[in-house]
Amino acid sequence: MNQATKIFAQALLYAAFAAVVGYFATAPVYRHLPADQALIKLSFSHSGKLLAECRQRSPEELAKMPPNMRAPMDCRRERSPVAIEIDLDGKPLFRHIAPPSGLSKDGASTVYQRFTLPAGTHQLAVRFSDDVNKKDFGYQRAETVTLAPGKVLVIDFDAEKGGITLI
Protein backbone atom coordinates (compact mmCIF):
# COMPACT_ATOMS: atom_id res chain seq x y z
CA MET A 1 0.00 0.00 0.00
CA ASN A 2 1.47 3.34 -0.98
CA GLN A 3 1.73 6.40 1.27
CA ALA A 4 -1.19 8.30 -0.33
CA THR A 5 -3.56 5.36 0.20
CA LYS A 6 -2.55 5.09 3.87
CA ILE A 7 -3.18 8.80 4.46
CA PHE A 8 -6.55 8.63 2.67
CA ALA A 9 -7.64 5.57 4.71
CA GLN A 10 -6.55 7.25 7.95
CA ALA A 11 -8.48 10.44 7.06
CA LEU A 12 -11.54 8.36 6.20
CA LEU A 13 -11.42 6.58 9.57
CA TYR A 14 -10.97 9.89 11.44
CA ALA A 15 -13.97 11.33 9.56
CA ALA A 16 -16.11 8.29 10.45
CA PHE A 17 -15.09 8.58 14.11
CA ALA A 18 -15.88 12.32 14.13
CA ALA A 19 -19.29 11.62 12.55
CA VAL A 20 -20.14 9.07 15.25
CA VAL A 21 -19.06 11.44 18.04
CA GLY A 22 -20.95 14.31 16.41
CA TYR A 23 -24.14 12.24 16.15
CA PHE A 24 -24.09 11.16 19.79
CA ALA A 25 -23.29 14.71 20.90
CA THR A 26 -26.62 15.93 19.50
CA ALA A 27 -28.86 12.87 19.28
CA PRO A 28 -30.76 11.13 20.67
CA VAL A 29 -32.27 14.07 22.53
CA TYR A 30 -32.03 13.69 26.34
CA ARG A 31 -34.71 15.13 28.57
CA HIS A 32 -34.18 14.80 32.29
CA LEU A 33 -37.90 15.51 32.89
CA PRO A 34 -41.07 15.25 30.80
CA ALA A 35 -42.18 18.55 29.24
CA ASP A 36 -44.88 19.27 31.85
CA GLN A 37 -42.94 18.23 34.95
CA ALA A 38 -40.73 20.02 37.49
CA LEU A 39 -38.39 18.67 40.15
CA ILE A 40 -37.90 19.34 43.85
CA LYS A 41 -34.64 18.15 45.38
CA LEU A 42 -34.18 17.89 49.14
CA SER A 43 -30.49 17.87 49.94
CA PHE A 44 -28.81 18.65 53.23
CA SER A 45 -26.16 17.49 55.66
CA HIS A 46 -26.58 18.89 59.16
CA SER A 47 -25.43 17.92 62.65
CA GLY A 48 -28.26 17.92 65.18
CA LYS A 49 -27.96 19.44 68.63
CA LEU A 50 -26.18 17.52 71.37
CA LEU A 51 -28.54 15.19 73.24
CA ALA A 52 -27.32 16.31 76.65
CA GLU A 53 -25.62 19.41 77.99
CA CYS A 54 -22.08 19.19 79.29
CA ARG A 55 -21.75 18.96 83.04
CA GLN A 56 -19.00 20.04 85.42
CA ARG A 57 -17.28 17.14 87.19
CA SER A 58 -16.91 17.45 90.94
CA PRO A 59 -13.46 17.50 92.57
CA GLU A 60 -14.21 14.06 94.05
CA GLU A 61 -14.95 12.61 90.61
CA LEU A 62 -11.76 14.12 89.20
CA ALA A 63 -9.68 12.71 92.08
CA LYS A 64 -10.90 9.17 91.32
CA MET A 65 -9.84 9.42 87.68
CA PRO A 66 -6.34 8.76 86.28
CA PRO A 67 -4.38 12.02 85.85
CA ASN A 68 -4.47 11.87 82.05
CA MET A 69 -8.29 11.54 82.02
CA ARG A 70 -9.14 14.50 84.30
CA ALA A 71 -11.15 16.67 81.95
CA PRO A 72 -13.20 19.10 84.06
CA MET A 73 -16.24 18.83 81.75
CA ASP A 74 -18.14 15.64 80.98
CA CYS A 75 -19.73 15.92 77.52
CA ARG A 76 -21.64 13.23 75.68
CA ARG A 77 -20.97 13.16 71.96
CA GLU A 78 -24.28 11.78 70.71
CA ARG A 79 -26.37 14.14 68.60
CA SER A 80 -30.09 14.44 67.94
CA PRO A 81 -31.53 12.90 64.80
CA VAL A 82 -32.85 15.42 62.27
CA ALA A 83 -36.57 15.29 61.45
CA ILE A 84 -37.95 16.78 58.25
CA GLU A 85 -41.49 17.08 56.94
CA ILE A 86 -42.55 18.46 53.57
CA ASP A 87 -46.15 19.19 52.60
CA LEU A 88 -47.14 20.03 49.03
CA ASP A 89 -50.54 21.64 48.42
CA GLY A 90 -51.64 20.70 51.94
CA LYS A 91 -50.80 16.99 51.55
CA PRO A 92 -47.82 15.17 53.05
CA LEU A 93 -45.05 14.71 50.47
CA PHE A 94 -42.18 13.50 52.65
CA ARG A 95 -41.64 12.53 56.30
CA HIS A 96 -38.24 11.37 57.46
CA ILE A 97 -36.06 11.15 60.56
CA ALA A 98 -32.36 11.05 59.61
CA PRO A 99 -30.18 9.48 62.29
CA PRO A 100 -26.74 10.95 62.98
CA SER A 101 -23.84 9.21 61.29
CA GLY A 102 -20.79 7.77 62.98
CA LEU A 103 -20.11 4.98 65.43
CA SER A 104 -20.78 7.29 68.37
CA LYS A 105 -23.77 8.89 66.61
CA ASP A 106 -21.94 12.19 66.63
CA GLY A 107 -21.82 12.96 62.91
CA ALA A 108 -24.07 14.79 60.50
CA SER A 109 -27.49 13.59 59.40
CA THR A 110 -27.67 13.53 55.61
CA VAL A 111 -30.69 13.40 53.28
CA TYR A 112 -30.99 13.48 49.50
CA GLN A 113 -34.38 12.95 47.90
CA ARG A 114 -35.96 13.87 44.53
CA PHE A 115 -39.63 14.57 43.85
CA THR A 116 -41.03 14.88 40.33
CA LEU A 117 -44.29 16.82 40.18
CA PRO A 118 -46.48 18.69 37.70
CA ALA A 119 -45.21 22.15 36.79
CA GLY A 120 -47.24 25.09 38.07
CA THR A 121 -47.95 26.94 41.30
CA HIS A 122 -47.82 24.94 44.53
CA GLN A 123 -48.08 25.58 48.27
CA LEU A 124 -44.90 24.25 49.85
CA ALA A 125 -44.44 23.83 53.62
CA VAL A 126 -41.16 22.57 55.08
CA ARG A 127 -40.56 21.78 58.75
CA PHE A 128 -37.18 20.89 60.21
CA SER A 129 -36.12 19.85 63.71
CA ASP A 130 -32.58 19.21 64.90
CA ASP A 131 -33.28 18.94 68.64
CA VAL A 132 -35.20 16.01 70.19
CA ASN A 133 -35.46 17.90 73.47
CA LYS A 134 -37.92 20.36 71.87
CA LYS A 135 -41.47 19.26 71.07
CA ASP A 136 -42.00 21.46 68.00
CA PHE A 137 -40.07 21.98 64.80
CA GLY A 138 -37.34 24.57 65.31
CA TYR A 139 -37.40 25.74 61.69
CA GLN A 140 -40.44 26.20 59.47
CA ARG A 141 -41.00 27.72 56.07
CA ALA A 142 -44.22 27.95 54.06
CA GLU A 143 -44.22 29.50 50.64
CA THR A 144 -46.06 29.59 47.34
CA VAL A 145 -43.66 28.43 44.63
CA THR A 146 -44.12 28.55 40.87
CA LEU A 147 -42.25 25.80 39.10
CA ALA A 148 -41.77 26.16 35.37
CA PRO A 149 -41.57 22.99 33.27
CA GLY A 150 -38.09 21.51 33.63
CA LYS A 151 -37.22 23.74 36.62
CA VAL A 152 -35.42 22.30 39.64
CA LEU A 153 -36.10 23.68 43.13
CA VAL A 154 -33.57 22.72 45.80
CA ILE A 155 -34.53 22.62 49.48
CA ASP A 156 -31.47 22.96 51.69
CA PHE A 157 -30.71 23.75 55.31
CA ASP A 158 -28.14 26.33 56.32
CA ALA A 159 -28.21 27.50 59.93
CA GLU A 160 -26.02 30.52 59.08
CA LYS A 161 -28.60 31.72 56.53
CA GLY A 162 -31.51 31.34 58.93
CA GLY A 163 -32.47 27.72 58.38
CA ILE A 164 -34.45 26.34 55.46
CA THR A 165 -33.41 27.74 52.08
CA LEU A 166 -35.12 27.35 48.72
CA ILE A 167 -32.79 27.71 45.77
Q: Name the phi and psi angles at 77, rounded to 5.
A: -95, -20
**Would you write out the chain's pLDDT as a tens digit for each of its 167 residues?**
799 999 999 999 999 999 999 998 888 887 888 889 999 999 999 999 999 888 999 999 999 999 999 999 998 899 999 999 999 999 999 999 999 999 999 999 999 999 999 999 999 999 999 999 998 999 999 999 999 999 999 999 998 888 999 99
143, 155 Cβ separation under 8 angstroms = no
Contacts with 116 (C-beta within 8 Å, 6 or more apart), sequence order: 33, 37, 38, 39
Q: Which amino acid is at 50?
A: L
Give the separation between CA 100 and CA 80, rounded to whole angstroms: 7
Say if CB 164 and CB 153 are below 8 A apart: no
Longest dimension (CA), the chain: 97
Alpha helices (runs of H) in 27-115, residue ranges in sequence order: 59-64
Which amino acid, 83?
A
